[in-house]
Every structure is written in C-alpha cells, then in structure tokens.
Amino acid sequence: MNTQEISTLIISRFGEHAIEKIEEMGLQPALFIQVDLLEDICFYLRDEKGLYFDFLNNISAVDLHEDGFLITYHLTSIPYLHTLVLKVLIANDRDEAHLPELPSVSAVWKTADWHEREAFDLMGIFFTNHPDLRRILLPDDWQGYPLRKDYQDPESYHGITIK
C-alpha cells in the first residue's frame, strides 16, 4: 500500500482537514497531518485491518527556526511490509516556560516513550499525556535544549569548564 492510498483511507475516516499536504519529494513520501488528530490517526494506522502499522521506527524533531519545529514519525507494518512517514509542523515558541507541544503517541506504541523523551530533552518539545516525560540524556538540572538552533553552550556546569 502506498502513501496516496493510505492518505485516502485517512481522509475517508477523519475528513479532508486531517492531512495538510502530501510531500512527494525525498526518499520517502510523507503525510503532513493535523496536530490535534495525531493520536487518533496513529491509533487508526495501528489498528485498521490492512494497515496494521505495528512498529514505530523513530521519532525525530528538527528545529526550522522561524518556521517552527518539524516532528517526523517513521512507521512500519511488519506483516504487510509497508512503511509510512508522518510529519507534524508545530509553532515556533522559543519561551522555555511555554514549550511547543503535541500529543504523545506512547499509548499507541510503547517505543514512543523513549523517542519522545529524547525529543523533549534535546529539542524542548513537550508531549502531552506522556507517562514519564523527563530528560533522558542530559542531567535533570541542565538548562536549555542543545539541538535548537538558538542554543548557547554554557561555559561551565557545576564548576566544570565545558568549553
């Protein structure tokens, strides 16, 4: 099943507004989906007969600076041998007190727990309803999000020179 066929199924289930656009360029076509429908669409992709996207390969977050943050989900249906890329674009909020947020898909795929924690830790993306959203690679008291384009390296950490 290809991306166009899957997008037709999603639209028939969730409506025209569910998919913002289809990206045909690149190594794998991708579906840009509405943030507010992310979790529902993921449950549908996992549970629908003929789709059964049972494996979340990866979640990655990219800082597009002024254009926001791009979150990409790589999915695989092991029994049906097809793949899908979902993308979500979220607002550019640089205030650490109000992190950009989107729904967690850890209830859909347990693997998302670790991937979302990594995106939170390094990019500052907040996943609502995540069961244990905390830093995974950096110390709990680390300031900032190192993969953001506007991140400034600290000069020291607990008296240890970093630069």
List the chain domain ranges.
Answer: 3-149
Q: Please report, in tens digits, the pLDDT of each residue of the chain (163 residues total).
A: 899 999 999 999 999 999 999 998 888 999 999 999 999 999 999 999 999 999 999 999 999 988 999 999 999 999 999 999 999 999 877 777 789 999 999 999 999 999 999 999 999 999 999 999 999 999 999 999 999 998 888 888 888 888 7
Task: For residue 95, give the amino acid letter.
Answer: D
Predicted local distance difference test score (pLDDT) of residue 66: 87
Separation of first and last alpha carbons in the chain: 50
Q: For residue 130, count other CB atoms closer than 10 A to its CB.
A: 18
CATH topology of domain 3-149: Beta Polymerase; domain 2 (3.30.460)
Predicted local distance difference test score (pLDDT) of residue 156: 82
Rounded Cα distance, 45 and 1, in Å:
12
Predicted local distance difference test score (pLDDT) of residue 70: 97
Half-sphere exposure of 78 toward its Cβ, with a 13 Å CA cutoff?
4
Task: For residue 148, give the amino acid letter.
Answer: R
Predicted local distance difference test score (pLDDT) of residue 13: 97
The DSSP line for 96-111 is TTS--EEE--TTT-TT
Q: For residue 54, count other CB atoms closer than 10 A to its CB.
A: 15
Predicted local distance difference test score (pLDDT) of residue 160: 86
Q: For residue 101, count other CB atoms closer than 10 A to its CB.
A: 15
